[in-house]
Amino acid sequence: MLENVRITKLENGACVATSAMKGSNVCNLGFHIPMGSRREKASEAGWSHFAEHMVLQGSEKYPSSKIVNRIMDRFGGITNAATSRLWTKFYAYVPAYGVNTTIDVLGDAIAHPLFLEPAIEKERKVILEEIKMDEDDTVNRFLRAACVGLWPRHPLGRLVTGTPKSIAPIDAESLKEFHRVRYTSRGAMFLATGKVDHDEIVERVRPVFDALSHAPETRYRPATPDWPISPMVVESCGESQARFIISFRGVKGADPRRHAQQLLSTILGGDSSSRLFRSVRERHGLAYSVGACSNSYEDHGEFVVSAGVSADSLEKALSLCGRELKELIRKPVGRRELASRREKFASLFVLTSEGNCECEYDVLDMCLKVYKKIIRPEKEEERIRSISAAELQAIAAEMFRPENCSLALSLPKGCKASPEKLREALLNG
């Protein structure tokens, strides 16, 4: 994986990175624009996402999405777009012989979108339905509430889609201005993996980035450790089961301790051999699903424990979770458990590293944006296998502090449980 990476920095500030894969006849490629929900002003919430929808609705050379679809259908290409907290990406998965056409189609859409008023009004309706759909998804809504608890009043807790109110002022002129100012070549990237010719790709994407503004990329508010945390977020739900999410701030992707943080989540709640599964489910029968996960991003990380239980089991389940968290601070992980869990984590890493060009693309993306370097799988595997019990204990002590903890509760209507008492059960373990 990533054995033939080449990176070229263009004069306009954009970066072109490719990874050629022997034997491949397909290509994953994409333009990545440094614009997302964290870079927006509060009054612009959802504008990056709206622009992403509209960019693919027609351009100077390809004036409608119907024309674009007809072209891509000729060789079975798959094109799509997505907006995240920091990036808007336009990507495709195509046979190698469709690479040049795909770059031309996506490139013209990004550099020369039409932003026609009738199309904007139609797409506004679509996005409003997307917002309603997300709002009706109780699980996703609760996940967002937990994020807001960990980063209250911070752009990290902002909805990528925005709100009906924030997207209401968007019209053709405001969207054109947003695109002109915010779609910058500086900080932008083009990535491609599979059967690629790096030098040819550089020359094909250069004009796209040349057509964009060369102003500095839009800044965003950093995720600093001193940003206040909401100790508790509580919402009611119309379901029969209660849910809780215990969130901690963790280490960012460029921090070498990210592997220890991930291994800790494997030990605590990664699978049926994990501590939480054995305790909360196997010994006490309180939950069908209970687990932990860890994620590291550009400038922050998150460590999350979650479960769904009956309302009358909430206090006991939270107490058991608190006990397991405290145990990881109090006592080093035993030699046998550490060896077993390290092997599981390392094996999963190897399995995910031995992928197709889509996997290669995702890893290259993470390397450039999050890790800030090109990783070598063999070095990463070696690092995972060298994680010590002392490292795990140290990062557990750093993360699992009351002041670094936000508890999100989704309580069924009529639940009499006291949120304060539930948090106390968690902290007292």
Domain co-membership, 127 together with 238: no
- Domain boundary (175, 210, 245) is at 210
Domain co-membership, 251 together with 381: yes
CA-nearest of 338, 218, 326 to 276 is: 326
3-state secondary structure at position 148 = helix
303's enclosing H/E stretch is: strand 301-309
Q: How far is residue 31 from each of residues 86, 173, 234, 289, measured CA to CA in Å?
A: 14, 24, 39, 38
Q: Is residue 131 part of a domain?
A: yes
Number of domains into which the chain is organized = 2
Which pair of tokens denotes residue 70?
A: 């007809």
Q: Is residue 173 part of a domain?
A: yes
**pLDDT tens, 301-338?**
999 999 999 999 999 999 999 999 999 999 999 999 99
3-state secondary structure at position 257 = coil
Spans in the chain with pLDDT lower than 50? none
Range of the domain at 251: 232-428
Q: How far is residue 243 from each of residues 15, 289, 311, measured CA to CA in Å?
A: 43, 10, 8
Q: Is residue 413 part of a domain?
A: yes
pLDDT of residue 148: 92
Q: Is residue 300 part of a domain?
A: yes
CA distance 167 to 171: 9
Alpha helices in 211-274 (DSSP H): 258-269
Domain co-membership, 347 together with 288: yes
With tokens 């989540």, the residue in question is 265
Domain co-membership, 17 together with 121: yes
Domain co-membership, 194 together with 265: no
244's enclosing H/E stretch is: strand 242-250
Number of CB atoms found within 10 A of residue 129's CB: 10
Note whether 81 and 56 are within 8 A (CB): yes
Domain co-membership, 284 together with 194: no
pLDDT of residue 34: 98
Domain co-membership, 163 together with 238: no
Sheet containing 5-9, strands listed edge to edge, beginning at the edge strand earlier in sequence: 5-9, 15-20, 189-194, 26-33, 88-95, 78-83
Domain co-membership, 196 together with 266: no
CA atoms within 13 A on the CB side of 348: 12
Residues with Cβ within 8 Å of residue 177, at least 6 apart in sequence: none
Domain co-membership, 242 together with 198: no
Four-point Cα dihedral 34, 37, 39, 40, nearest 10: 130
**pLDDT tens, 349-373?**
777 766 688 889 999 999 999 999 9
- Domain boundary (210, 240, 262) is at 210
pTM, two decimals, is: 0.93
Domain co-membership, 204 together with 238: no
Number of CB atoms found within 10 A of residue 99's CB: 24
DSSP state of 402: G
Q: Is residue 223 part of a domain?
A: no
Q: Is residue 226 part of a domain?
A: no
Pairing of β 405-412 and β 232-237: parallel
CA distance 92 to 80: 6
Q: Is residue 63 part of a domain?
A: yes
DSSP state of 372: S
pLDDT of residue 355: 65
Rounded CA Rg of the chain:
23
- CATH code of residue 322: 3.30.830.10
DSSP state of 413: T
CA-nearest of 352, 82, 51, 300 to 183 is: 51
Domain co-membership, 122 together with 262: no
- Domain boundary (160, 175, 210) is at 210
Domain co-membership, 246 together with 320: yes
